[in-house]
Structure 1
Amino acid sequence: MNKTFRILKKIILYTFSILLLLSVAGYIYLYVLPKGPEITEIKKINSGIDSFVIYAYKDSERKSIKVWTYKPESWNDKDKVVFVMHGGGRNADDYLNAWIELADENNLLIIAPEFENKFSKYTTNDYQEGNLFTFFRTKNPKSEWAYTVVENIFDHIKSVNNITNEQYDIFGHSAGGQFVHRMVMLMPESRIGTAISANSGFYSLPNDKFEFPYGIQNTGIDLQKSYNKRLVILLGELDNNPSLGTFRTTELAMEQGAHRLERGTAFFNTNKKLKNKNNWTFNWEIDTIKNVGHDYKKMSENAIEWIKN
């Protein structure tokens, strides 16, 4: 009996030690070691398709980020700047290509950051959940939030290209839609003019009883300020097939709705009810695009009307 107990005790001890070692190694790899593509020479954005790599954070060289751009020949200072946020595939170049014709037709400078992550199938906290928390649920400083990276990129292109624009618009689809609506909620001080959150998989509800990202517990969100921003919840009428893309099916996610169309509608209505209850200013809108499903190209085409107006 004592021998069996000793063996069991050793097994538990070894198992715990291995798990601890893996956790420490994982934390160091994800959050301590430098990562990302090599920094490129600082230069002005060329017309057509271009890219550059900068440090993601202003006070740290721990992480770099590649930024794709498209600039029409006719684009000049004060013309619109639009950030395009990719989906869960982290395919910023594909999203950039979807906006080239739209950019030419509407004279838009397109900025498409690439939040590359080899483990994006297993962890989403670094991108669509804003990097508020690590995978291990420890808090990150605001200076390392993914939303702050967008502001840093805007500062970079303004300074390097002598751009005097005070605002930018932002569009995100699927995981990018999650990114956009959370950025509006968490960083209302950002320089966003119009934000478009398209076909998000699930949302951060204005409920402080739910942990982030399902709710806003311990986030310090000031919803009055968030509602002052112009946010459009853009939904595809046919985006009612949960088998498309990566669709979260946890208990709290399923409580938001059976598919993306249902969840987006519920999210908007929940916020509108809260606004009515408190008689707050509310600059959020909802738009459902007919005959469109979970398609970032077609949703991009329909987003342009909100950016133009």
Structure 2
Amino acid sequence: MRWKPLFRLRRTQRSIAAAFLGMIGTATASAYSGEVLRQMADVDGQRLQVFSYRPKGCASPAILMIFHGNSRTAESYLEAAIPLADRGCFALYAPLFDRDRFPSWAYHRGGVAEDGRLRSEEDWTVDMVDDLLTWARQQEGRPDAPGYLFGHSAGGQFLSRVAAYGMPAGVRRVILANPSTYVLPTRNEDAPYGYGGLAEDEETTGWMRDYLAAPITIYLGERDTGDEDLTMTDAAIRQGRNRLERGELTFAKARDIAKERGWSFNWTLVEARDVGHSARGMLQAEEMTEALGF
């Protein structure tokens, strides 16, 4: 089974500063308490550039991994999260999934299918997140550091596939912010929009059950009702007219399926007031604290 069991961890405590381990590259100037670093990570046979930030005055931070949107601007996503990291004691990591190696089918939709054909499970991009978290924990010198995953737009689409098909261990919360599409916990939609086309066996049923039980926040900007860069495949259109509607309908459908089957349901729905399709707006909204599950 691809799902790796979650384990519960106590919240970290704020204490004195400690240094990053294994830094590669040079630090850039920052107006905040820590420094933005450029590092390289060898992950699942790929070499990825990762931007990172660690606030001072925080000895044992939780890890908040940020997944960029279609713009592929990982560094700007990380910088938008720095005020949150300073307030909440988070070590930030923002991997860059470049367009050449990770086009939409490989990033947005997790590498599960290409041109409508399922790919071999060992080639799914979703598995890279587990390795990225392991690598980030090594940088922190804390193999048990709790992890939080935040993805906006294309990054939210990617994390929906991660949560559905390859959830890493030790994740406290997965935040799907304003994605165009989701994985629905049903075989009525083919992967990567659902579980159709996958083996109809007990293992796949377990994936759906665990997906619904996972600590997922659907985090929506209440003004994200436009159609710029909105995925418009047939499967996407069936999820709703815009990102706000798709998120609300996906949450309701998932809740109803869990109730019908008698399964645990641990998703939450949070909407950020007066925010549209903006990663910075979502990361810096008051509602981000609720989205993290605090």
Question: Normalising by structure 2, what TM-score?
Answer: 0.80
Shift in CA distance, 101/234, structure 1 to aligned 2, threshold 3 Å: same
Contiguous gaps of at least 5 residues in structure 1: 1-41
Measured in 1, the distance between the counterparts of 2:120 and 2:52 equals 28
1:257 aligns with 2:235: no
2:179 counterpart (180, 200, 206): 200
SS in 2 for 1:252: helix
Which one-letter code corresponds to 2:133 in the other structure? F
Which residue does 1:170 correspond to in 2? 149
Shift in CA distance, 308/233, structure 1 to aligned 2, threshold 3 Å: closer
For residues 21-32 of structure 1, what are the structure 2 equivalents within 5 Å? none
Which one-letter code corresponds to 1:282 in the other structure? F
1:104 aligns with 2:83: no
Shift in CA distance, 131/116, structure 1 to aligned 2, threshold 3 Å: same
1:267 aligns with 2:267: no
Measured in 2, the distance between the counterparts of 1:263 and 1:308 equals 21
1:279 counterpart (253, 259, 262): 262
Contact 2:111 2:125 in 1 (8 A): yes
Q: CA deviation at 1:178?
A: 0.9
Which one-letter code corresponds to 2:111 in the other structure? N
Shift in CA distance, 49/155, structure 1 to aligned 2, threshold 3 Å: same
Q: CA deviation at 1:203?
A: 1.7
Greater shift in the superposed pair: 86-95 or 98-107: 98-107
1:93 aligns with 2:80: no
Contact 2:130 2:168 in 1 (8 A): no
1:68 counterpart (26, 32, 51): 51
Which one-letter code corresponds to 2:213 in the other structure? N
Measured in 1, the distance between the counterparts of 2:136 and 2:277 equals 31
Shift in CA distance, 213/138, structure 1 to aligned 2, threshold 3 Å: closer
Contact 1:168 1:193 in 2 (8 A): yes
Contiguous gaps of at least 5 residues in structure 2: 1-20, 28-33, 199-203
Measured in 1, the distance between the counterparts of 2:89 and 2:144 equals 14
Measured in 1, the distance between the counterparts of 2:244 and 2:151 equals 16
- If you compute each CA radius of gyration, which structure gives the higher value, 1 or 2? 1
Which residue does 1:226 correspond to in 2? 211
- Root-mean-square deviation over aligned CA pairs: 2.2
Shift in CA distance, 180/215, structure 1 to aligned 2, threshold 3 Å: same
Shift in CA distance, 223/73, structure 1 to aligned 2, threshold 3 Å: same
Q: CA deviation at 1:54?
A: 2.0
Measured in 1, the distance between the counterparts of 2:293 and 2:35 equals 21
Q: CA deviation at 1:228?
A: 2.0
Q: CA deviation at 1:307?
A: 2.4
Q: Name the structure where helix makes up a greater proportion of residues.
A: 1
Q: CA deviation at 1:252?
A: 2.3
1:293 counterpart (269, 276, 288): 276
1:153 aligns with 2:135: no
SS in 1 for 2:105: coil
Q: Could you give the per-residue CA deviations for residues 37-61 of structure 1, whole angstroms, max 9, x where no partner exists? A: xxxxx8248751012112221xx3x
Contact 1:209 1:215 in 2 (8 A): yes
Question: Normalising by structure 1, what TM-score?
Answer: 0.77
Shift in CA distance, 135/53, structure 1 to aligned 2, threshold 3 Å: farther
Q: CA deviation at 1:134?
A: 4.2
Matched-pair identity in %: 26
Q: Could you give the per-residue CA deviations for residues 126-151 of structure 1, whole angstroms, max 9, x where no partner exists? A: 11211123457351343x43222121
Which residue does 2:189 correspond to in 1? 210
Q: Could you give the per-residue CA deviations for residues 258-298 of structure 1, whole angstroms, max 9, x where no partner exists? A: 11111111111111110110111110011122211111111
Q: Could you give the per-residue CA deviations for residues 153-207 of structure 1, whole angstroms, max 9, x where no partner exists? A: 2212323441143420111111111112221111245321111101111122222
Which residue does 2:16 correspond to in 1? none
Which residue does 1:130 correspond to in 2? 110
